């Protein structure tokens, strides 16, 4: 039953972003079937196409959304100085490369990246101190650097807009020679992997959510709210530093005014669209990541539909985001929960049981077996389809088909298996209910003796 409850919780939070992303993808498929075409660029051997552009262009936003999720969860507010601090960190990155070392190689780039991240962490600790120690509202505390951050970046580089011409920097912003996948995507995978490791081997997720839900209760349980909040700002600083380096590498220069411009607003929207509460508390990092890709998909779609009219693009984007945010609001969720509560699942399973008799006794097991079949045969089928499409339409389409097929088959297998487990558990509850003469079971974890664990 724990698996069922966890599945229901995840599905409830990710339902809106999943539906929104699916509708966007279906809309693009209907609008332009060639929207999903992927080709190999003959000049540099990289993958080209709208899907690759969406995944690659969203890299900075996805990374920042990860850090913004932690700050939102712990502090119950948002950091609006992300773009400005990114500009400062980017200025330090360029300053270290061009003025301190004077040469660009793997070691100097690594050192400049470390200095960039440390700079972003230092400024984020300033914000975190105002929020955690002096208890200033996050949006007000971060308004200081939001207002003057880009001016500090101008001061660091002497109001210049320096170019960073180097094959290494170009590879970081575009692609590594011989690898068709854009390099920023690997940056997202690395940062996502680091977050996953932190959550796996530390209690940071639990502590962050505890502080966001109730600081007093967290303190009574030995959790230091100030330290947890400062840690969330530190991780956001690392994310901002990495994102700023990707942005500089993508452009090949430092532009103080446009580097990570308005990314703070899109990151906050990504957190909200992902089903996370902007008031703090529990969070799902996958929801924020999905929200970032939804925003980038929407940007790419609108740019393809509306050309040479930025004002119209922003207006339409605002309308679509309003619809998505309202659909995921607590009021709508409560209405849907109330509607679902009116459906008596026990009565439904009883009717099915009476109609199909003994065949229903193991229907949950049958569904779980089907799920195992998806997980087992999905990847080989995807590989076969990918080979066929690689021959007929190009290797890029083939690679994407294999990757997408494997991921989708595992996702479908997971959902179907959880559904089968839920059906099986509901049937057990129904039989207990019938055996007790109509009395409801005391607990999902009752043992055969009737004692509650």
Identify the residue with better confidence: 115 or 175: 115
Identify the residue with better confidence: 383 or 137: 137
Q: Which residue is it, tokens 């530190």? A: 234
Contact criterion met (CB below 8 Å) for 256 and 161: yes
Of 71, 9, 125, nearest to 270 by C-alpha is: 71
pLDDT at 453 over 50: no
Integer Cα distance of 185 and 239 in angstroms: 14
361 contacts: CB under 8 Å, gap ≥ 6? 427
Identify the residue with better confidence: 25 or 371: 25
Under the banding of pLDDT at 50, 70 and 90, the label for residue 1 is: very low
Integer Cα distance of 12 and 72 in angstroms: 20
Three-state SS string over 158-211 comes to CCCCCECCCHHHHHHHCCCCCCCCCHHHHHHHHHHHHHHHHHHHCCHHHHHHHH
Q: Which of 88-97, 415-424, 444-453 has the highest mean pLDDT?
A: 88-97
Of 168, 144, 199, 182, nearest to 60 by C-alpha is: 182
Of 114, 120, 115, 119, nearest to 81 by C-alpha is: 120
Element (H, E) at 39: strand 39-40
Under the banding of pLDDT at 50, 70 and 90, the label for residue 143 is: very high
Q: What's the pLDDT at 134?
A: 95
List the alpha helices (DSSP H) in 257-284.
Answer: 263-273
What are the b/e assignments for 117-133, b being 16+ CB within 10 Å?
bebbbebbebbbbbbbe
20 C-beta neighbours (distance < 10 Å), count: 23
Query: Domains in the chain, please, with CATH?
Result: 41-336 (1.10.3470), 343-435 (no CATH)
**Of 59-63, 234-238, 241-245, 433-437, where does mean pLDDT reach its minimum?**
433-437
Decide: residue 301, CB within 10 A, 0-12 exposed, 13-18 middle, 19+ buried: buried
Q: What's the pLDDT at 361?
A: 56
Per the structure block, which two tokens stand in for 404? 């997408």
372 C-beta neighbours (distance < 10 Å), count: 13
246 contacts: CB under 8 Å, gap ≥ 6? 59, 60, 63, 172, 173, 184, 187
Give the CA count within 13 Å in the CB-facing half-sphere of 251: 19
Contact criterion met (CB below 8 Å) for 294 and 20: yes
The predicted-structure confidence for 6-19, as pLDDT tens digits, reads as follows: 555 555 667 778 88
294 C-beta neighbours (distance < 10 Å), count: 26
Integer Cα distance of 453 and 447 in angstroms: 7
Q: How far is CA 307 from CA 57, 190, 301, 439, in A?
A: 18, 34, 11, 65
pLDDT at 27 over 80: yes
Integer Cα distance of 200 and 71 in angstroms: 19
pTM of the predicted model, to two decimals?
A: 0.77
Element (H, E) at 48: strand 47-48
The predicted-structure confidence for 105-130, as pLDDT tens digits, reads as follows: 999 999 999 999 999 999 999 999 99
Q: Which residue is it, tokens 């006794």? A: 361
Per the structure block, which two tokens stand in for 176? 């590594």
């Amino acid at each position: 039953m724990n698996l069922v409850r966890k599945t229901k919780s995840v599905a409830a939070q990710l339902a809106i972003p999943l539906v929104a992303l699916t509708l966007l993808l279906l809309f693009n498929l209907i609008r332009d079937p060639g929207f999903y075409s992927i080709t190999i660029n003959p000049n540099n051997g990289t993958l080209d196409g709208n899907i690759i552009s969406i995944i690659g262009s969203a890299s900075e936003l996805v990374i920042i959304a990860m850090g913004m999720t932690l700050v939102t969860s712990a502090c119950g507010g948002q950091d609006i100085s992300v773009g400005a601090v990114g500009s400062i960190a980017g200025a330090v990155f360029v300053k270290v490369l061009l003025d301190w070392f004077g040469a660009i190689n793997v070691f100097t780039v690594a050192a400049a990246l470390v200095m960039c991240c440390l700079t972003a962490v230092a400024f984020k600790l300033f914000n975190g101190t105002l929020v955690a120690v002096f208890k200033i509202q996050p949006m007000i505390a971060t308004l200081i650097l939001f207002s003057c951050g880009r001016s500090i970046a101008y001061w660091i580089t002497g109001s210049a807009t320096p170019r960073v011409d180097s094959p290494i920097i170009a590879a970081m912003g575009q692609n590594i020679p011989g690898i068709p996948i854009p390099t920023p995507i690997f940056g997202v995978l690395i940062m996502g992997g680091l977050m996953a490791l932190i959550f796996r081997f530390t209690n940071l997720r639990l502590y962050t959510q505890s502080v966001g839900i109730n600081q007093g209760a967290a303190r009574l349980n030995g959790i230091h709210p100030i330290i947890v909040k400062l840690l969330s700002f530190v991780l956001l600083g690392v994310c901002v530093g990495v994102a700023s380096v990707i942005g500089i590498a993508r452009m090949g220069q430092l532009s103080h005014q446009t580097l990570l411009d308005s990314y703070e607003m899109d990151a906050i929207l990504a957190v909200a669209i992902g089903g996370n509460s902007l008031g703090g508390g529990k969070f799902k990092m996958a929801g924020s990541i999905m929200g970032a890709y939804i925003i980038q998909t929407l940007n790419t779609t609108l740019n393809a539909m509306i050309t040479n009219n930025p004002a119209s693009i922003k207006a339409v984007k605002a309308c679509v985001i309003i619809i998505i945010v309202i659909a995921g609001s607590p009021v709508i969720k409560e209405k849907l929960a109330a509607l679902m509560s009116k459906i008596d699942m026990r009565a439904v399973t009883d009717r099915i049981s009476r109609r199909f008799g003994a065949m229903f006794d193991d229907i949950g097991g049958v569904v779980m077996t089907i799920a195992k079949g998806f997980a087992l045969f999905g990847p080989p089928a995807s590989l076969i389809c990918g080979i066929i499409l690689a021959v007929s339409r190009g290797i890029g389409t083939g690679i994407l088909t294999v990757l997408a097929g494997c991921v989708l088959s595992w996702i479908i297998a997971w959902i179907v298996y959880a559904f089968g487990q839920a059906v099986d558990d509901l049937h057990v509850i129904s039989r207990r209910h019938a055996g007790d003469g109509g009395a409801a079971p005391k607990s999902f974890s009752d043992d055969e003796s009737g004692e509650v664990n």
